[in-house]
Structure 1
Amino acid sequence: METYFMSGRSSSPILRFRLLPPKLFLRSPQVLPLVLQDFSCNLQARSQEERSEARNRMFILGMGFVGQFFADQLKKDGWEVIGTCTSDAKMKKLEGMGFDVHLFDSNDPELRSLHTMESASHLLISIPSVAGLGDPVLHQHKDLLQSRLSHGNLQWLCYLSSTSVYGDSGGAWVDEDYPTNPTSESAKARVDAERGWLKLGHDLGISAQVFRLGGIYGPGRSALDTILRQESLSKGQKMREARRYTSRVHIADICQALKASINMPTFGRIYNIVDDDPAPRLEVFAFAQALIEKRCPTWMKQGPAHEVKNVPAKKKVTTEKKTIGGEKRVSNARLKDELGVRLLYPSYRSGLPSIMDYMEENSFPNFT
């Protein structure tokens, strides 16, 4: 994939000075410099204030799990956050949580829901790609989007992709320079979307980066939640059970990586956002099961043991030989070296206990 390096655009406003009124020149020589100095300081303060406001306006295209978590953190930091979703029910739910949300329809020829994007200083794209199309927004509205954003305040954009774009390396370590080799239609669409958003950033002359995320987990979305709620495994989850390696990342580490990127913007760079421990899924579920039984055994629902469905015996975890495509171990060295990120949860062994702490603090679970 091509990497672009562009110089950033200046956001400094042009200051225009009016002629000083005649009476000002009647002041003493000692007073005049003070008046001019005070006038200059006021202009600088106003300019810094305006730049600060522009710098702190995030537009999140796709308020899913990552978008909501990140938006909540930004709001606590004093940012203005605007987001989109695709259903009335989801919009009402998000508005009830205090978010400014717009209903997004990619088939709208004028993209009316994205008018507010023009005033944003930062753009996070967190929407699924579409097989055969790539990114649905760029596929249908690239020219319109570029026209709008070229006259706006946008300084930074980030597209959230997936480590699935690497395909199968036979279990070898892969970094961002490893050639993409997507094996599924959805992964191929991700590669197309990556190229599209990086090119848009290049054409606009702004900071643009791609984050390739591992499997995302966090409060409400983890092996602990799956076990406690006795949720059925999806087809994809069942297929991944046989893998020797699975890259994953805690939602809190995604958010700190995004913040680091905002503070150190790059032009056309790609980052793997994963933890240090690409452990197999079965190992993670066995750990989660043991964690529940040790700390909160009364949380388990009455009925058939959940491990029969989702957590095989240890012997199966350690001796499973059948594997499927997508075997790889993903390196996060660039994330640490260039963005200076120190993972909060370098392994599921620290991430899952933190989620358990959250559950206990919030009186989870509630099965009624």
Structure 2
Amino acid sequence: MEIYPMCVQFPATSFLFHRIPSSQTTSFFLPCFRASNFRQETEMSESESPNRMFIMGMGFVGKFFAQDLKNHGWAVSGSCTSLLKKKKLEEMGFDIYLFNANEPELEVLNVLNHHTHLLVSIPPLVGIGDPILQHEELLKSRLMDGNLKWLCYLSSTSVYGNCGGMWVDEDYPVSPTDEKAKARLAAEEGWLKLGHDLGISTQIFRLGGIYGPGRSAVDTMIKQEPSSEIQRRRASRHYTSRIHFADICQALRASIYKPSLGAIYNVVDDEPAPRIEVFSYSWDLIDKKWPGHIKQPVFRNEAESCSTRSLREGKRVSNVRIKEKLGVRLFHPSYKSGLKSIVDDMDNPFL
């Protein structure tokens, strides 16, 4: 099958669940199959599909990416941590295996060599490390003579540490400061080594703060729940990079059609911003559409708390590489676009 780079224009309503007014289209670069081959692939049943993705950890991102692939004729399997999630995902048409990172069962390793692509979306555990790479030699033996040709590990921009507000790209020296970030970096190195040993396309995605429908500042404000410890720590950062799940998914698809050996990509939007600014904008959107339901003090208390202490500078993460190397054109270049799309598509949550 030949692959040709070209500019493709899709109706925005056809990509994932990302809706834009029907008068608009969303353009982005993806290498595309020759037309005849593309028709054959999309008309092919999943059982006959040459493309078989296994998503290790079908959480927020994995679930939507799986559905996008399925819509394009892929066979998709994956893992989750509970019987309830397993049942829901199976009802969506996926083959699902239970996998608990704290007590990993090796049975799931036996099915990986039947897949052509592997996305790893399970965070490492402090003191233990990556739960899959604990069994690196066994995993390597399972995959050595298998069908796997593409591997991607979802990491985090936390591996850069606190960079004093500087712009950082993928070549910036990593300096994780907490144990979770150090475990992330160790997992990155482990997956890159495994991919190298297997001789397959391997890429690392360093993600900013992930958001989307059901998981955003808008949803937090509507629920009016107290901030978690992690959210309070984020509030003290002057800069935080974010990424909408639809843009993670399009970057993943782009990397499948432009594979590389050991590439690292920052997957973030164009506009790093403090959490208070994001919550203020969220309140404006909510109050404009459903006036009077949420009072500003819900987030002003947090803003006043932050103003009494110096903000940690954090870092501004550059996304130039995903644009230049993968041809990604972000659906949501800033949190403003992403949050507005969430509110525009939301039914009245106060009824």
Secondary structure of 1:244's counterpart equals strand
Report 1:201-220 matches (<5 A).
201-220=195-214
Residue 113 of structure 1 corresponds to 108
| Counterpart in the other structure of 1:35 | none
What residue is the counterpart of 1:83 in the other structure?
78
Equivalent residue number for residue 309 of structure 1: 298
Alignment of 1:44-63 (within 5 A): 55-63=50-58
Aligned to 1:260: 254
Q: C-alpha displacement at 1:107, in angstroms?
A: 6.8
Deviation sequence 1:48-82 (CA, Å, 0-9, x none) = x89x9564110000011010010111111111110
> Which of 299, 305, 325 is the equivalent residue of 1:338?
325
* SS of structure 2 residue aligned to 1:92: helix
Quick one: distance in 2 between partners of 1:345 and 1:249?
Answer: 8
Larger Rg computed on CA atoms? 1
CA distance in 1, matches of 2:227, 2:295: 11
Give aligned pairs, total.
Answer: 309
Q: Over residues 170-200 of structure 1, what are the superposed CA-to-partner deviations in whole Å (9 max), with x where a residue is unaligned?
A: 0001110111100010000000000000111
> For residues 293 and 310 of structure 1, what CA distance do their matches in structure 2 show?
13
- The separation in 1 between residues aligned to 2:225 and 2:89, in whole angstroms, is 24
Gaps of 5+ in 2: 1-39
> Does the CA-based 8 Å contact 2:104-2:131 persist in structure 1?
no
Alignment RMSD (CA, Å): 2.5
Whole-Å separation in 1 of the counterparts to 2:124 and 2:103: 18
What do the CA deviations read for 1:213-239 (whole angstroms, capped 9, x no partner)?
000000110111001111221101012
Q: Establish whether residue 158 from structure 1 lines up as the match of residue 145 from structure 2.
A: no
1:349 aligned residue (304, 328, 336): 336
Which aligned pairs between 1:165-244 and structure 2 lie closer than 5 A?
165-244=159-238
Whole-Å separation in 2 of the counterparts to 1:237 and 1:159? 24
Question: Which has the larger helix fraction?
Answer: 1
Structure 2: which amino acid aligns with 1:135?
A: D
Q: Secondary structure at the match of 1:60?
A: strand
State the TM-score, normalizing by the size of structure 1.
0.78
What is the percentage of aligned positions where both structures have the same residue? 59
**Structure 1: which amino acid aligns with 2:89?**
L
| Structure 2: distance between partners of 1:110 and 1:281 | 39
Please give the secondary structure, in 1, of the residue aligned with 2:314.
Answer: coil
* Residues 366 and 295 of structure 1, relative CA distance in 2, 3 Å threshold: closer
SS at match of 2:177: coil
Secondary structure class of the residue paired with 1:210: strand
* 2-structure distance, mates of 1:130, 1:217: 22
CA distance in 2, matches of 1:337, 1:318: 37
Gap change, CA 1:82 and 1:167, over 3 Å in 2: same
Match of 2:310 among 309, 322, 325: 322
In structure 2, the partner of 1:365 is 349
CA shift in 2, pair 1:126/1:223, >3 Å: same
* Shift in Å, 1:364: 4.6
1:287 aligns with 2:287: no
How far apart are residue 273 of structure 1 and its match? 0.2
State the alpha-carbon separation in 2 of the partners of residues 364 and 264 from structure 1. Answer: 41
Alpha-carbon distance, 1:142 to partner:
0.7
Distance 1:290 1:339 in 2: 34
Which AA in structure 1 matches 2:66? A
Alpha-carbon shift at residue 105 of structure 1 (Å): 3.8
SS of the residue 1:290 aligns to: helix
Name the CA shift for 1:226/1:306 in 2 (closer, same or farther; >3 Å).
farther
Q: Is this contact kept in 1: 2:188–2:204, CA < 8 A?
A: yes
- CA 1:117–1:313: 2 relative to 1, 3 Å: closer
Residue in 2 aligned with 1:26?
A: none
Structure 2 equivalent of residue 18 of structure 1 = none
User: What is the rounded CA distance, in whole Å, between the counterparts of 2:157 and 2:63 in structure 1?
Assistant: 21
> Relative to structure 1, is the Cα distance of residues 109 and 275 closer, same or farther in structure 2, using a 3 angstrom cutoff?
closer
Q: Is 1:247 aligned with 2:241? A: yes
CA contact (8 A) 1:125 1:158 kept: yes
Give the aligned residue type for 1:346: P
On the 8 A contact 2:109/2:142 being kept in 1, the answer is no
Describe the shift of the 1:249–1:167 C-alpha distance in structure 2 as closer, same or farther (beyond 3 A): same
**Which structure has the highest strand share of the two?**
2
Secondary structure of the structure 2 residue equivalent to 1:136: coil
What amino acid sits opposite 2:296 in the alignment?
E
**What is the aligned counterpart of 1:273 among 257, 267, 278?**
267
Residue number among 89, 92, 95 corresponding to 1:94 in the alignment? 89
What amino acid is aligned across from residue 323 of structure 2 in structure 1?
Answer: K
Q: How far apart, in 2, do the equivalents of 1:190 and 1:167 lie?
A: 12
